Structure formats: C-alpha cells, structure tokens
C-alpha cells in the first residue's frame, strides 16, 4: 500500500514527466516540420520564430477557439517555443504557451470540451472569456500587460482577412495597440488538413461530423458538400472537400438586413464581392456594358462592396482561371454573360473546369427553359443546353423585379460562391 508521502512523490514525478514530455513533443514537431521540405509549413513556422524573437515568449498570446486553423497555429507556437527555449538554454518546463478562448454565448459544447482538453494536454496558460471580442481582448491585455501581439489562425478568404497587410499587421483604433500575427495567412484549406493529418495533430470531433468551418450553434451546420447517401456514414471527412472555396458552405450567410459591422480582433467586417463580365463583344467594343453599375448599387444596398471587376473573353481556360482566382479571394463573385445557347456561351463549361466538376442536365432548369420559349413560340432544341450546369451547382429562384411575380423565368445558377446571371441587361436586371 502507498502511504501519503509516496503518493505525493508519485504525483510530482508524474507531472514533471508530463512537462518534459511536452517539451520533447514540441521539439519533435519542430524538427519534423523543418525537415519536411514543405515550404508552406516551414515559412509559417519561421513566421512564428520571428514573432517569438521580436516579442518574446511573454509578449505573445495565441487566440485558440478550437477551430482547425487555431489548432494549427497553436501547435506551430508550441514547436517554435520549444526550439527557442532549447536554443537559448532556457528551461522550457517553466514556459507555457499563453492562450485566450473568447467563448461565444452559443458555443458548441464539443468546442469548449476540446479547448479545455488541449489546454491541459499542452499545458496552456488559458484565459477564457465570454465578454465579446472587444471586451475580451481588453481583459486579456489587463491580465497580461506584457502582451504585445496576438497570434491568429486567419487565412486569406476569411471574412476579416482583407484588412490585413501581411503576416504582421498592427491593430486599429479604437483597440489598444498590439500586433496581429497571422502565420498561416496564405494557406489554403487543403494545407490546413495536410498539416493536421501529416503531423497527427488532435482536432475537434465536430470535423468528423461533416463540419468544415466552425462558428457557433446558431450559424453553423455540417457542410452539404460533404454529404453522402450512406446512412452509416452521412458525411465524408473534412479533408475530402476538394474545393476549398466551399469551406464555409455550412455557415449561415448574412442576410441583407443583418448587421455587417461585427468586429473581431480590431477589424471591421466589410463584405466584398467581385464581378466577372464575360463576352468578346464587350472587349471588342461592339457592345457597352450595362450591368456593372446596377450590380454595384444593388450590392451596396445589402452592405456588400463591389471591389473588383474583370472583363474576360469567351475563352474557357481564361474564364476558369479568373473564376478560381476571384472565388478564393472574395466571399461573393457575380458573373455576367456567356450562359446562352450559342457556341460562344461557355460560362458553365468554364465553371465546371474551375471547380473540377462535370456538367449535368438540371431537370427543373430545363423545364423552365421549355416553358419560357414555348410560351413565346420560339423554342428550339438547342435552348435546353442552357440547363447543363456543373454537378455541384444549384438554382437560386428569386422574385422577378419587373413583373413582380413570385419567381423569374430564369433562376440564378450558384456554383460555390459564384452566382451566374445572363449578360443581356433586360434579363440581368430582372
């Protein structure tokens, strides 16, 4: 039988072993990342190295909300900090990663549980607040006055990433002065899962239930792009999402009358959109564009800024390249033109190529096309080819702006975050 002294000694040795094991685990991860030869991973780790060198271990706090991106950043810091302590001869058992968890009032319990477990496993100095972003940050800065930078898992394409100048960006008024460090800013969705899987990083169990982007219980659902017809396996794993631009498909989009000025880490959320005007006739001067200005006005009424317009010819490869680029950079992309029945109407083929999807004949779309042209007495078999849309596309029915009927004759085709409309102004404006 153990007496009290032996039990106490055992516990002391156990926790000391955990500390040493954590140090060695961080060093092993550091070595594995640096020896991987993967420039994406190595550059992110070097960005964290720079942050620790400039601000010191006491000057950094990682924002750990339990999501996949924050999880990656947390382990990059653990690895870099272990290396830093080894290089300077510091006792890393006395140095822990400082983290903050700004808990949402409607947080998933699975997220809270994961954050708490990781805090124990990784020996985090975790501050948890449910005060909201602004007050939570101020509280952290009061409790940890040496804090000079917050390390975030923000990536290009996130709602707030457009206001970042780079990996290191200062905060803006009315926030206190600090630096936002975003080491994985340029990572793609697939890079996140390559890192997590490649280095066997634990992650929140919600990602095994169809989720690809986590908000809270009110605005987040499993991603329909991962849905299967197998009742025993209703969703594919998150890394099976081939098209990273569909990452946020499970997140509720803000409606037109929603507030669009939510603040997060000193950044004002300003939703931006891009537009692609398709057609040789526009570029050759045979026809003037009449759709850009009405689009800008309509988007602005919804609190969305039209920030970029591209005009491209009727070329599948060219259109596909522009679609891939803009759909990754902007939350919403609108296309105008190229969806008629003639040989130079190649928008749907271009979208299919951009998203790596085959075309399919949509029965509902074909039905509406037939009804429209048969009513006019101008139906031709070639018109039904307009119902050939990418496999992942869906139809968006809307109120006709001219006749005020319940829905217009032609729906908008939504492919990921790309909304395709006809180029003829008469149809476009409806």
24 and 35 Cβ atoms separated by less than 8 Å: no
- Position 193 scores a pLDDT of 94
| Of 31-35, 154-158, 214-218, 340-344, minimum mean pLDDT range | 340-344
DSSP 73-129: HHHHHHHHHHHHHHHHT--GGG---EEEEE--TT--HHHHHHHHHHHHHTT-EEEEE
What's the pLDDT tens digit per position in 300-311? 887 788 999 999
How large a percentage of the chain has pLDDT more than 70? 85
Residues 135 and 45 in one domain: yes
Q: What are phi and psi of 180, to 5 degrees?
A: -90, 120
Residues 279 and 372 in one domain: yes
Apex 193 CA angle, 191 and 196, nearest 5: 110
Question: 12: which strand partners?
Answer: none
- CATH number at 398 reads 3.40.980.10
Apex 269 CA angle, 218 and 325, nearest 5: 100
Residues 32 and 178 in one domain: yes
368 and 338 Cβ atoms separated by less than 8 Å: no
122 and 92 Cβ atoms separated by less than 8 Å: no
Last-in-domain residue among 268, 292, 309: 268
In the chain, the number of structural domains is 2
Question: 310: which strand partners?
Answer: 276
Higher pLDDT, 382 or 12: 382
- CATH number at 40 reads 3.40.50.620
Residues 368 and 238 in one domain: no
Residues 123 and 241 in one domain: yes
| Structural domain span for residue 420 | 272-427
Model pTM score = 0.58
What's the pLDDT tens digit per position in 183-211? 999 999 999 999 999 999 999 999 999 99
Binning pLDDT at 50, 70 and 90, where does residue 49 land?
Answer: very high
pLDDT at 3 over 60: no
Last-in-domain residue among 219, 244, 268: 268
pLDDT at 395 over 90: no
Question: 151: which strand partners?
Answer: 62, 181
Show the tokens assigned to 142.
């009061």
Residues 313 and 368 in one domain: yes
Whole-angstrom distance, CA of residue 281 vs CA of residue 287: 6
Residues 242 and 334 in one domain: no
DSSP 253-292: PPPTTS----EETTEE--EEEEEEEE-HHHHTTSS---SH
Residues 120 and 220 in one domain: yes
Ramachandran sector of residue 416 (left: φ over 0; alpha: ψ -120 to 50; beta: rest): left
Question: 396: which strand partners?
Answer: 412
pLDDT at 134 over 90: no
Residues 262 and 281 in one domain: no
Binning pLDDT at 50, 70 and 90, where does residue 230 land?
Answer: confident
Residues 230 and 242 in one domain: yes
Measured torsion, CA atoms of residues 137, 140, 144, 145, in degrees rounded to the nearest 10: 40
- Position 263 scores a pLDDT of 35
Average pLDDT, the chain: 83
What's the pLDDT tens digit per position in 109-132? 999 999 999 999 999 999 998 867
Residues 216 and 279 in one domain: no
pLDDT at 249 over 80: yes
SS3 call for 388: strand
Contacts of 289 (CB under 8 A, 6+ apart): 277, 282, 311, 336
Residues 16 and 140 in one domain: yes
Last-in-domain residue among 268, 294, 310: 268
In what helix (H) or strand (E) does residue 297 lie, and over which residues does it extend?
helix 292-301
Binning pLDDT at 50, 70 and 90, where does residue 155 land?
Answer: very high
Binning pLDDT at 50, 70 and 90, where does residue 377 land?
Answer: confident
């Amino acid at each position: 039988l153990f007496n009290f002294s032996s039990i106490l000694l055992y516990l002391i040795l156990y926790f000391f072993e955990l500390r040493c094991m954590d140090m060695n685990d961080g060093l092993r991860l550091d070595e594995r990342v640096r020896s991987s030869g993967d420039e994406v991973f190595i550059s992110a780790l070097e960005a964290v190295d720079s942050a620790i060198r400039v601000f010191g271990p006491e000057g950094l706090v990682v924002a750990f909300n339990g999501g996949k991106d924050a999880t990656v950043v947390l382990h990059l810091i653990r690895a870099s900090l272990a290396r830093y302590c080894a290089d300077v001869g510091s006792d890393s058992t006395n140095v822990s990663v400082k983290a903050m968890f700004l808990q949402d009032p409607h947080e998933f319990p699975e997220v809270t549980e994961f954050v708490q477990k990781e805090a124990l496993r990784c020996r985090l100095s975790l501050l948890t607040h449910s005060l909201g972003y602004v007050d939570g940050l101020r509280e952290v800065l009061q409790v940890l006055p040496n804090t000079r930078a917050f390390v975030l898992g923000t990536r290009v394409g996130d709602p707030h990433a457009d206001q970042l100048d780079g990996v290191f960006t200062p905060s803006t008024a009315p926030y206190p002065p600090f630096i936002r460090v975003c080491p994985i800013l340029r990572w793609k969705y697939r890079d996140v899962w390559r890192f997590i899987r490649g280095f066997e990083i634990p992650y929140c169990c919600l990602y095994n239930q169809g989720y690809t982007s986590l908000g809270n219980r009110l605005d987040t659902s499993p991603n329909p792009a991962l849905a299967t017809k197998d009742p025993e396996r209703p969703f594919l794993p998150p890394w099976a999402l081939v098209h990273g631009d569909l990452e946020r498909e499970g997140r509720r989009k803000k409606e037109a009358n929603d507030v669009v000025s939510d603040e997060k880490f000193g950044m004002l959320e300003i939703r931006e959109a891009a537009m692609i005007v398709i057609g040789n006739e526009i570029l050759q001067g045979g026809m003037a564009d009449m759709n850009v200005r009405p689009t800008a006005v309509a988007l602005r009424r919804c609190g969305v800024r039209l920030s970029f317009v591209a005009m491209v010819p009727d070329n599948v490869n060219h259109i596909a390249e522009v679609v891939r680029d803009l759909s990754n950079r902007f939350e919403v992309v609108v296309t105008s033109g190229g969806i008629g029945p003639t040989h130079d109407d190649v928008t749907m083929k271009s979208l299919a190529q951009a998203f790596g999807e085959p075309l399919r004949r949509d029965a509902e779309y074909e039905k509406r096309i037939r009804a429209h042209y048969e009513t006019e007495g101008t139906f031709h078999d070639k018109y039904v080819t307009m119902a050939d849309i990418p496999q992942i596309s869906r139809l968006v029915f809307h109120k006709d702006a001219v006749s005020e009927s319940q829905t217009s004759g032609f729906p908008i085709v939504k492919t990921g975050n790309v909304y395709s409309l006809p180029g003829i102004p008469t149809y476009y404006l409806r």
